[in-house]
Amino acid sequence: MTEATGIVGEFLSLKETTDAEVLAMQCGDFYEFFDEDAELVAEELDLKLSQKSSHGSSYPMAGVPLDDLTPYLKALVERGYRVAVADQYETDEGHAREIVRVVTPGTLLETTDADAQYLAAVVEDGAAGGSAGASPTADVGDDASYGLAFADVTTGRFLVASGEDSAETLTELYRFDPVEVLPGPAVRNDDELVQRIRDRTDATLTLHEAESFAPKRAEHVVREQFGREPLEGLDVPRPAISAAGSILSYVEETGAGVLASMTRITTHRSDDHVTLDGTTQRNLELTETMQGDREGSLFATIDHTETSAGGRLLKEWLQRPRRSQSVLEERQQSVAALASAALARDELREVLGAAYDLERLASKATHGSADAQDLVAVRETLEVLPQIADVIDSDAELGESPLSAIVDRPDRTAVADLWEMLEEAIAEEPPSTVTQGGLLQRGYREELDEVIDRHEAVRRWLENLADREKREYGLSHVTVDRNKTDGYYIQVGRSVADEVPDHYEQIKTLKNSKRFTTPELEDKEREILRLEERRGDLEYELFESLREDVAAEAALLQDVGRALATVDALSSLATHAAANGWVRPELRRDGDLEIDQGRHPVVEQTTEFVPNDVRMTDDRGFLVVTGPNMSGKSTYMRQVACIVLLAQVGSFVPAREAEIGLVDGIFTRVGALDELAQGRSTFMVEMSELSNILHTATEESLVILDEVGRGTATYDGISIAWSATEYLHNEVRAKTLFATHYHELTGLAEHLPRVANVHIAADERDGDVTFLRTVRDGPTDRSYGIHVADLAGVPGPVVDRARDVLGRLREEKAIEAKGDGSSEPVQAVFDLSSGTMERSATTDGGEAASKSATQASLETAASSETDADREAALEPEKADVLADLEDVDVNETSPIELLTKVQEWQRRLEDE
Ligand SMILES: Nc1ncnc2c1ncn2[C@@H]1O[C@H](COP(=O)(O)OP(=O)(O)OP(=O)(O)O)[C@@H](O)[C@H]1O
């Protein structure tokens, strides 16, 4: 193919200069895509493809009108493409084109989504040594530390953070859920970490130039942006500065033009926040359900915010619960005041309804994309602040709450000044285009008023010209109009065309009329065109400078936006609390948890919920939760986690009364639906999550374990569950709720002092199980697994036999409990491989226990004689099934396999 020249050639050579996947190049009134790019956008965006020939070759071409680029850009970026935009400008020699912006997921300003849109950078601390080629357990134990920076170009938020190891770093990343991540030089070579970032976030990974991460250069860039002082006050770790510097250089390089909206740098300290890893956020369905729906998540349930900024903040609170009692109590005070002031709260929410997203508007103003309507939105939102303050002041309780300080934080005089400036400047209902005039108020600038007056005068002269001509020359059928080719003209009906005065110059003859001009009309035409241009230019100039004045107040707008969002988020919490009978929890430092009549915040919305108590104190910090399938174990445990989390958001909680010991982290290990979808082994995931918890949780953490060990053969499963319990109890000492089907674990309560059993009660009458959903102390007293088999129609003899087998297994399987030293361990030994009891050779106590277990097993064996008789009386197929049942080694078979076997037996029995 010959080298393309002309427009296609220009496109292809511009494309070579960028690493963006797609280039949109302005050609007059269109943005065009050529060649492969055209094919790609045609495919992705359903655009019509045409052909453009250049130098004997033909190239695919697609285009969108100039003003319509935004939605296409957005769609491409949301699909993960980086899109370069080249604009056209005039030069002495004609047109030239230049790439002005590369739009990427993290620098997309045109978002319509209310969520924060973070661009993140992750840098490994060089001093700590490389972790490239980290082991699969890099989640824990590797010694590299990391620096992180997060920027939201749509709101100007800029934060730095650090991660002690890769696990903490991933937790921070998940907390901010970035849309784009810039891995630093060492991080990008760490396949394991990169893979984990990909797994745990939906972010696009972008390789930004390595030099921008260089400590000296990064520090310089950061100081240029934020000044010297904030950095010194912040005590930001070195790799976090590198991360911050690279983000700033990236934002600058991609041409988003919003650097000025990044007015402050703040540190996000993980110590201030409750550790909440990605798995836990998913398990507790914080912002989306396990199925990925927003509806049904905790956030969707409690979100009654009126503004998108308020919703964004509330979500941030949920994702980043706090640990400081004073911060939380301050929020609680506001929620309490708002919850009891129903009328004032409604009023506040109504006023808030008129507020726009000021943080976003500030970014648009600095970027130069805010139009006059956006500035009206700024003005109207600034009005909201004093109105909110008035409502708060008018209610005694609200006035005394921290809400007053929240609305007083932004500089109210500066707000009033900015409001006044906009009020005087912007027209009442300006158009959305900024180049066609009508943007500004009369009286705003004398110079503009003069131009407008003259423009209006000429316009009126032209408007009245037809009437004047009719009157003066006695002409009927006269109109005055303008079009592109003829300019202004006087049009006279053909019948009277001969009666026109001499100074009329004919310019066109039409079928029924003739068009004329006059020297005076030509003068006026020149004048009006000049004035139109002048008015447009002047208005745009004034508007631009006004927009710059607004952009200069970005920090103020962010303050006001934040204050309004805070009031909105707090009102939302109060609204939900009032509507659902939630109470203010008492926050405690001693770690005790006492929830009276607690409910699950989401499940209670759709179900007649049976409230339950929770008591976890120093002497019962580990609850083994048992109960039949579907009885409500998971719900109960998640309810506890959600209540603690809500309390650490500053919210009220669904309970009659609650005392919440503050935690430093919430860890959960629940089913692994989503990992299954990613094709990873369930059991491997289960174990790496467990390992993570055992390493990371502390005495101040809350741990929720649902069915640990289920993913492997029963022996392994019980052993792991058992030893994890001992470790959590003895070493970690975290407050733990552990739901299990391994009845064996309930025995631990007798040997480990802080372990207590609770069970979810079920009532059985006439063969039917009724789930009572009530949590009671003590273990379940029967095996409902077999009961479920019974309910499912497994024949009576099989069920009976299963009960016997179970009874034997239980009695024989005594396992030594390893205590924390404060109580005597019980010792009994069951030879799992042979299925026989052997005497323990260790302690006296052990021998005694062992003996009694042997005794019990003998008794069971005796009673099974009758079963043998019963077997003999069965038909052959039933006997076969029974034989198979006996052959099954329960301890070497996973529950899934067992279930499959039961199904098969059922089928065989039905076939009979
Ligand atoms: N306290 C309650 N009041 C009313 N409904 C409840 C309560 N607790 C749980 N439920 C409902 O009971 C059903 C089963 O709950 P859950 O999944 O927690 O049971 P489970 O014991 O964990 O089951 P499995 O052992 O099979 O995992 C759910 O539909 C849940 O909404």
Please report whether residue 690 resides in a domain.
no
Global pTM reads: 0.77
Residues 425 and 313 grouped into a single domain: yes
Six-digit token string for 29: 């009134």
Instruction: Give the model's pLDDT for residue 171.
Output: 84
> From the CA of 603, how far away is ligand 1's center (Å)?
9
Instruction: Give the model's pLDDT for residue 339.
Output: 96
Residues 167 and 229 grouped into a single domain: yes
**How far is Cα 316 from Cα 313, in angstroms, rounded to an integer?**
5
Instruction: Give the model's pLDDT for residue 336.
Output: 97
Domain boundary (103, 135, 159) is at: 103
> From the CA of 630, how far away is ligand 1's center (Å)?
5
Instruction: Give the model's pLDDT for residue 833.
Output: 38
Residues 214 and 123 grouped into a single domain: yes
628 annotated to a ligand binding site = yes
Residues 243 and 320 grouped into a single domain: no
399 annotated to a ligand binding site = no
**How far is Cα 240 from Cα 219, in angstroms, rounded to an integer?**
10
Q: What is the CATH number of the domain that holds 354?
A: 1.10.1420.10
**How far is Cα 673 from Cα 284, in angstroms, rounded to an integer?**
13
Residues 69 and 163 grouped into a single domain: no
Instruction: Give the model's pLDDT for residue 874.
Output: 59
Six-digit token string for 315: 């979500």
Ligand 1 in reach of 106 Cβ (< 6 A): no
Please report whether residue 422 resides in a domain.
yes
Domain boundary (44, 69, 103) is at: 103
Q: Phi, psi (5° rounding) for residue 106? A: -85, -5
Residue with the nearest Cα to atom 15 of ligand 1?
Answer: 632
Cβ proximity of 259 and 271 under 8 Å = no
Please report whether residue 286 resides in a domain.
no
Query: Which residues are registered as beta bridge partners of 658?
Result: 595
Please report whether residue 75 resides in a domain.
yes
Ligand 1 in reach of 381 Cβ (< 6 A): no
Please report whether residue 633 resides in a domain.
no
Helices (H), 46-190: 69-78, 166-176
> From the CA of 632, how far away is ligand 1's center (Å)?
3
Residues 152 and 173 grouped into a single domain: yes
Q: In what order do the strands lie in the sheet with 119-124?
A: 204-205, 180-183, 119-124, 146-152, 157-163, 266-268
845 annotated to a ligand binding site = no
Positions in the chain short of pLDDT 50:
1, 128-141, 672-679, 823-872
Q: Could you report the predicted ipTM of this complex, rounded to two decimals?
A: 0.96
Residues 214 and 82 grouped into a single domain: no
Q: What is the CATH number of the domain that holds 95?
A: 3.40.1170.10
Residue 632 per-residue DSSP state: S
Instruction: Give the model's pLDDT for residue 53.
Output: 79
Cβ proximity of 596 and 656 under 8 Å = yes
Indicate if the alpha-carbon torsion angle 56, 59, 63, 66 is positive or negative.
negative
pLDDT digits (tens, 9 = 90+) for 10-59: 999 999 998 889 999 999 889 999 999 999 988 888 888 888 877 778 88
Q: Say whether 133 sits in a helix, a strand or coil.
A: coil
Residues 416 and 351 grouped into a single domain: yes
Residues 321 and 251 grouped into a single domain: no
Please report whether residue 210 resides in a domain.
yes
Six-digit token string for 755: 């372990």
Residue 456's domain comprises: 449-525
630 annotated to a ligand binding site = yes
Residues 76 and 125 grouped into a single domain: no
Residues 124 and 73 grouped into a single domain: no
Instruction: Give the model's pLDDT for residue 4.
Output: 67
Number of separate domains in the chain? 4
Q: What is the CATH number of the domain that holds 268?
A: 3.30.420.110
Please report whether residue 774 resides in a domain.
no
> From the CA of 302, how far away is ligand 1's center (Å)?
21
Cβ proximity of 124 and 215 under 8 Å = no
Please report whether residue 402 resides in a domain.
yes
Residues 416 and 302 grouped into a single domain: yes
